């Protein structure tokens, strides 16, 4: 045993004085020189290359490089971190065990976790460094709603929400931002249709999430109805007009024989603002205008008088006019009519009738008298119609 120890000591002692065939230096000199330079011997066939490298490694303090994309995450999120340790003999990471000096891992911690890196250098010294990953519950908007999604102008609406894991809540109404962090609801009176936005900031201000709700605002329907006349006689048309605002549909109904009658089927008149009607009897007209939330009805009564009926005119005896057979009944020709036309040309009517030469010669002197009587009668009829149309009375 003593001989073995002696041989080892001798070998080590001899190594101190042996010279490298390449660089001509002793081992200690080579180590000292290369430690100063901080690198191994550059000569390819250096006899002390391994010893120099080991001496350099033992002289260095381990250096650690951590690379991690973030140290604060939400539950169920993953992160990737990598590392590189220089001048270390071996390393290990808590939870991962012994690892390579240069490597990476993708992890998904479920709670706050501290990862400890343990380093052993070439002198068997131990070093530790650590990194902590904070895990937060993710923010959540489980509800954001309006008490009514469709309202009329001037109505109020309550906005409510249910939010968790947040530090701040902002309600955005058009360009206005309202801090509602300490509230569970907020009442608004929107003047127009609007989309409200709820902005929620997570714990540690890591993230912002949003939710939206739209409230539609409808204006009240405005409707007026009129007619160019509310009294008429049969066959003379009436023009109905209406002015409608804020309606999406306009319907027209009418009811004849007003007492006890039912309205007829509605007619869609949304694309027009007037209509001509020719009622045969007194009729009640109704306009119905509406949108999704409001509906307005307006009625107008059109009184109708029957067409004047003239059964005939008795002409007085005309002096000098013989009682000739075949003389036409002028009253029947002129006034047994189904309607009155203000432009009816009586004179042309008379002149257009075929009359025998005998009648022409006999009527020449009396024609003016006959025409005068007929004209007066016709004017009376026109006066009667005018009174009905203008004043609604006979």
> What value does the mean pLDDT take over residues 130-142?
94
Whether 298 and 226 map to the same domain: the answer is yes
Comparing 365 with 70, which gets the higher pLDDT? Answer: 70
pLDDT at 122: 82
Round to the nearest angstrom and report the end-to-end CA distance of the chain: 155
Q: Kindly tell me if the per-residue pLDDT of 319 is higher than 70.
A: no
- List the domain range (segments joined by +) for residue 77: 63-136
Whether 300 and 266 map to the same domain: the answer is yes
Whether 72 and 54 map to the same domain: the answer is no
- Lowest-pLDDT range of 45-54, 92-101, 103-112: 45-54
- Lowest-pLDDT range of 82-86, 110-114, 316-320: 316-320
The rounded distance, in Å, linking the Cα atoms of 226 and 273 is 11
Q: Which of 181, 202, 218 is the last residue of a domain?
A: 218
How crowded is the C-beta side of 17, counted as CA atoms within 13 Å? 5
Label residue 321 by pLDDT band (50, 70, 90). very low
Label residue 27 by pLDDT band (50, 70, 90). confident
Q: Kindly tell me if the per-residue pLDDT of 4 is higher than 70.
A: no
Q: Is residue 297 part of a domain?
A: yes
Rounded to the nearest angstrom, the gap between the alpha carbon of residue 211 and the centroid of all alpha carbons in its chain is 14
Q: Is residue 206 part of a domain?
A: yes
Whether 226 and 300 map to the same domain: the answer is yes
Task: State phi, psi for 100 to the nearest 5 degrees.
Answer: -70, 160
Whether 157 and 214 map to the same domain: the answer is yes
> What value does the mean pLDDT take over residues 356-381?
51
Whether 202 and 255 map to the same domain: the answer is no
Please report the DSSP string for 217-251 in residue order: EEPPPEEEEEES-SEEETT--EEEEEEEES-SEEE
Whether 154 and 199 map to the same domain: the answer is yes
Give percent above pLDDT 90 in the chain. 50
Whether 213 and 151 map to the same domain: the answer is yes
Q: Is residue 176 part of a domain?
A: yes
Q: Which of 113, 136, 159 is the last residue of a domain?
A: 136
Give percent above pLDDT 70 in the chain. 72
Strand pairing class (126-136; 113-120): antiparallel
Bridge partners, 56 (sequence order) = none
Residue 2 three-state SS: helix
**Single pTM value for the model:** 0.63
Q: Is residue 92 part of a domain?
A: yes
- Lowest-pLDDT range of 99-108, 114-123, 352-361: 352-361
Whether 73 and 131 map to the same domain: the answer is yes
Residue 319 three-state SS: coil
The rounded distance, in Å, linking the Cα atoms of 99 and 117 is 10
Q: Is residue 232 part of a domain?
A: yes
Label residue 389 by pLDDT band (50, 70, 90). low
pLDDT at 361: 45
Domain of 272, CATH number, reads 2.60.40.10
Whether 301 and 227 map to the same domain: the answer is yes
129: exposed, middle or buried (Cβ count in 10 Å: 0-12, 13-18, 19+): middle
Label residue 249 by pLDDT band (50, 70, 90). very high
Q: Kindly tell me if the per-residue pLDDT of 277 is higher than 80.
A: yes
Q: Which of 218, 240, 267 is the last residue of a domain?
A: 218
Cross-sheet strand order for the sheet of 185-188: 140-146, 157-164, 185-188
Q: Is residue 320 part of a domain?
A: no
Label residue 390 by pLDDT band (50, 70, 90). low
Comparing 344 with 271, which gets the higher pLDDT? Answer: 271
Domains: count for the chain? 5
Domain of 92, CATH number, reads 2.60.40.2470
Quote the DSSP letter at residue 19.
Answer: B
Comparing 346 with 374, which gets the higher pLDDT? Answer: 374
Residue 324 three-state SS: coil
Q: Is residue 355 part of a domain?
A: yes
Whether 155 and 171 map to the same domain: the answer is yes
pLDDT at 116: 93
> What value does the mean pLDDT take over residues 209-217?
97
Whether 92 and 123 map to the same domain: the answer is yes
Buried/exposed code over 243-252 (b: 16+ C-beta within 10 A; e: otherwise)? ebebbebbbb
- Lowest-pLDDT range of 18-22, 89-93, 124-128, 251-255: 18-22
Q: Is residue 43 part of a domain?
A: yes
Label residue 373 by pLDDT band (50, 70, 90). low
Report, in angstroms and rounded to the nearest whole number, the Rg of the chain calculated over CA atoms: 56
The rounded distance, in Å, linking the Cα atoms of 228 and 244 is 18
323-354: pLDDT as tens digits? 444 444 444 444 333 333 434 444 443 444 44
Q: What CA dihedral angle connects 347, 351, 357 and 359, to 10 degrees?
A: -30
pLDDT at 94: 92
Comparing 174 with 309, which gets the higher pLDDT? Answer: 174
- Lowest-pLDDT range of 124-138, 191-205, 256-270: 256-270
């Amino acid at each position: 045993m003593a001989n073995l120890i002696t041989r080892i000591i001798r070998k080590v002692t001899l190594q101190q004085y042996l010279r490298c065939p390449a660089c001509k230096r002793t081992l200690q000199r080579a180590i000292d020189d290369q430690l100063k330079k901080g690198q191994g011997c550059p000569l390819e066939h250096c006899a002390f290359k391994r010893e120099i490298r080991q001496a350099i490694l033992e002289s260095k303090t381990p250096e650690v490089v951590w690379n991690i994309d973030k140290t604060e995450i939400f539950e169920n999120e993953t992160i990737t971190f990598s590392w590189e340790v220089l001048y270390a003999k071996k390393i290990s990471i808590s939870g991962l065990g012994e690892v390579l000096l240069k490597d990476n891992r993708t992890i998904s911690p479920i709670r706050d976790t501290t990862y400890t890196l343990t380093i052993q250098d070439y002198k068997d010294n131990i070093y530790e460094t650590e990194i902590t990953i904070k895990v937060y519950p993710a923010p959540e908007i489980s509800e954001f709603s309006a008490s009514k999604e469709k309202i009329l102008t001037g109505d109020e609406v309550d906005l409510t929400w249910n939010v968790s894991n947040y530090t701040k809540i902002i309600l955005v109404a058009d360009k206005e931002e309202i801090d509602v962090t300490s509230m569970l609801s907020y009442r608004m009176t929107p003047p127009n249709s609007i989309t409200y936005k709820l902005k929620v900031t997570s714990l540690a201000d890591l993230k912002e999430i949003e939710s939206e709700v739209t409230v539609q605002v409808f204006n009240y329907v405005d409707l007026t109805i009129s007619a160019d006349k509310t009294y008429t006689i049969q066959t003379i048309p009436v023009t109905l007009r209406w002015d409608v605002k804020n309606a999406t549909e306009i319907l027209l109904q009418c009811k004849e024989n007003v007492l006890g009658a039912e309205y007829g089927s509605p007619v869609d008149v949304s694309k027009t603002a007037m209509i001509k009607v020719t009622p045969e009897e007194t009729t009640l007209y109704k306009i119905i205008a509406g949108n999704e939330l409001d509906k307005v009805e307006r009625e107008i009564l059109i009184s109708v008088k029957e067409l004047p009926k003239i059964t005939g005119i008795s002409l007085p005896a005309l002096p000098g006019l013989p009682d000739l057979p075949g003389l036409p009944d002028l009253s029947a020709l002129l006034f047994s009519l189904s309607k009155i036309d203000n432009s009816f040309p009586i004179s042309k009517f008379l002149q257009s009738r075929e009359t025998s030469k005998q009648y022409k010669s006999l009527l020449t002197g009396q024609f003016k008298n006959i025409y005068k009587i007929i004209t007066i009668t016709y004017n009376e009829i026109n006066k009667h119609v005018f009174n009905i149309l203008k004043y609604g009375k006979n």
